[in-house]
Chain A
């Protein structure tokens, strides 16, 4: 009995961890490279979720919803970076602009979709499967599979491609990288778009599981900030580890101590910072 619950909690935690990872990675790299604290990142997640819901519920196709989210949040990210952030070099101004965008985008979403929680699950991923005595929701398993595929893709991108290498070099020293011919402004635009796309995709993947509601963006933005701090600001590997830990912390507490589910990630953050003030993987 106890073991089945533990297995379920771990599966849910890993699934949530992958969604956190998709969301936090962009936030982490945008800060690490561009030094922008992007408060609008949660709004990409929220919009990704609403668009994913609209398109997949109408077409009956989850993938169509995910692709639509990716395109629209990618376009939103491009416009925000290219038209606004690029013109403002002052970090505080940039941060405040992203706060304004967050308020605006979340408000527009609320005007359009209201206070209802929307949820749509593709019929083929409905229901559960039994693993011995353990009940596993098909969709959460699906999230884990998608998460693993994306994790491998992200790993290859950062460690095996020229662009990934340039981004890591830029996080180390974004001025010196230009002395080797890299046009950092283009890298900034690219990374902001990719980060927004990952957030949008994360939102659209969450909908069939937890639904989408007006405060989803801000809730997950706060989680993502905590995750980036837990992992070590600007550390890609740290963000990966911290996302999984945060997913597990939240789902384990949801099963065993539900009153701790909400603050669990922040408790994890406090615990990590006590032991390692600069986060898990930052030395």
Chain B
């Protein structure tokens, strides 16, 4: 469903994404790994359309979206879940969810989707009248994810470090939400380095170093290679 061909992107004058090619099919999870500053966030933002690539092509469901604006990519079903959350702080929790549903005009359908989100995240139902800025960090991250999966037609999720700084309870909640997305045959590209979470979800990995993919394969293979893990994840396996 997603095919990236030789993608290059700059942040100002800084050459960050330096020729990345990848494929993700429906029901796939692709873990992007790499050290701080490797270019992972920039890569996701370029796929979403926040940053224009200097070279290369992005195909989504067979359509070349390289020059489509951000909002059109969103309408085609791509969602970006930023690591710094970027909720709408003065809007209520429920309004944050409704923003993601604003192209749906049938009231019934909107209420159904809210109900669905509230069964996935029961806490958000209790908090729905609060402003997003009043939530705790963990609650904000739930809302960040909920807002992106709210739309029934969202098909490809670009998720940046969703469990960073969260307690294990929240992190395992997020892992199971991602598993559900995969079961429903959606595509997921995720920047995440927690080995337990990778094992739980499975799928493919790609390691990015200085803006290039230096290694890729299945998560299973990665987990059996102590050398790769220590070199690129900065995790010591005991």
- Chain A residues within 8 Å of B, Cβ to Cβ: 162, 165-166, 168-169, 171-173, 175-184
Contact of B74 among A162, A169, A172, A178 (CB under 8 A): A178
Q: Which residues of B (60-94) have their CB < 8 Å from a CB of A?
A: 69-71, 74-75, 79-80, 82, 86, 88-91
Given contacts A172-B90, A176-B88, 18 further A-B contacts (CB under 8 A): A166-B99, A168-B90, A169-B88, A169-B95, A169-B96, A176-B82, A177-B99, A178-B74, A179-B48, A179-B49, A179-B50, A179-B70, A179-B71, A179-B79, A180-B74, A180-B102, A181-B71, A181-B102
B203 within 8 A of A: no
B114 at the interface (CB under 8 A from A): no
B residues engaging A (CB < 8 A)? 48-50, 69-71, 74-75, 79-80, 82, 86, 88-91, 95-96, 98-100, 102-103, 147
Name the B residues within 8 Å of A180 (CB-CB).
Answer: 74, 99-100, 102, 147
Output the least CB separation between B87 and chain A (Å).
Answer: 8
Q: For A175, list chain B residues within 8 Å (CB).
A: 50, 70
CA distance A172 to B86 in the complex (A): 9
Q: Which 9 A-B pairs have the closest CB atoms?
A: A181-B74, A172-B88, A181-B75, A169-B88, A178-B71, A178-B70, A176-B86, A180-B100, A183-B71
Identity of the chain B residue whose Cβ is nearest the Cβ of A283 in the assembled complex: B133
Q: Within the complex, what minimum Cβ distance (angstroms) separates B50 from chain A? A: 7
A179-B80, A180-B74, A181-B71 known; A165-B90 Cβ under 8 A: no
Question: B86's contact among A168, A173, A181, A183, by CB below 8 Å, is which?
Answer: A173
Separation of A177 and B99 alpha carbons in the complex (Å):
8
Known: A178-B69, A179-B70, A180-B102. A169 touches B91 (CB 8 A): yes
Instruction: Tell whether, in the assembled complex, residue A169 and residue B71 are in contact, meaning their CB atoms are under 8 Å apart.
Output: no
Shortest CB-to-CB span from B154 to chain A, Å, is 10
In the assembled complex, the Cα of A178 lies from the Cα of B50 at a distance in Å of 9
Main secondary structure of the interface of A (DSSP, over half): helix
A270 → chain B, closest Cβ, in Å?
27
Complexed CA–CA distance, A81 and B80 (Å): 30
Is the pair B99, A165 in contact by a Cβ cutoff of 8 Å?
A: yes
Q: Is the CB of A168 within 8 A of B74?
A: no
In the assembled complex, which residues on chain A have CB atoms less than 8 Å from the CB atom of B88? 168-169, 172-173, 176-177
Chain B residues, Cβ within 8 Å of A171: 90
Give every chain A residue within 8 A of B99 (Cβ-Cβ). Answer: 165-166, 169, 177, 180, 182
What are 12 inter-chain pairs, A to B, with CB distance below 8 A? Answer: A162-B102, A165-B99, A166-B102, A168-B90, A168-B95, A169-B88, A173-B88, A175-B70, A176-B82, A180-B99, A182-B74, A183-B69
Residues of A within 8 A of B103 (CB): 181
Give complex CA distance A279, B20 in Å.
47
* Known interface pairs A179-B80, A181-B102; A168-B71 also in contact (CB < 8 Å): no
Residue of B nearest to A169 (CB): B88
Residue of B69, B79, B82, B102 near A165 (CB, 8 A) is: B102
Nearest CB in chain B to that of A177: its residue? B99
- CB neighbours of A181 from chain B (8 A): 71, 74-75, 102-103
Q: Which residues of B contact A179 (CB under 8 A)?
A: 48-50, 70-71, 74, 79-80
Closest residue on chain B to residue A163 by CB atoms: B102
A182 with B90, Cβ < 8 A, contacts A165-B102, A166-B99 known: no
CA distance A177 to B147 in the complex (A): 11
The winner among A171, A182, A184 for most chain B CB atoms within 10 A is: A182
Q: Which of B69, B70, B96, B98 has the most CB of A within 10 A?
A: B70
Cα A175 to Cα B48 in complex, Å, equals: 12
A183: nearest chain-B partner, CB-CB: B71
Contact, CB under 8 Å: A172 / B75: no
CA of A187 to CA of B46 in the docked complex: distance in angstroms? 24
CA distance A178 to B70 in the complex (A): 6
Give A165's nearest chain B residue, CB to CB. B95
Smallest beta-carbon distance B20→chain A, Å:
21
Closest chain B residue, CB of each to CB of A186: B71
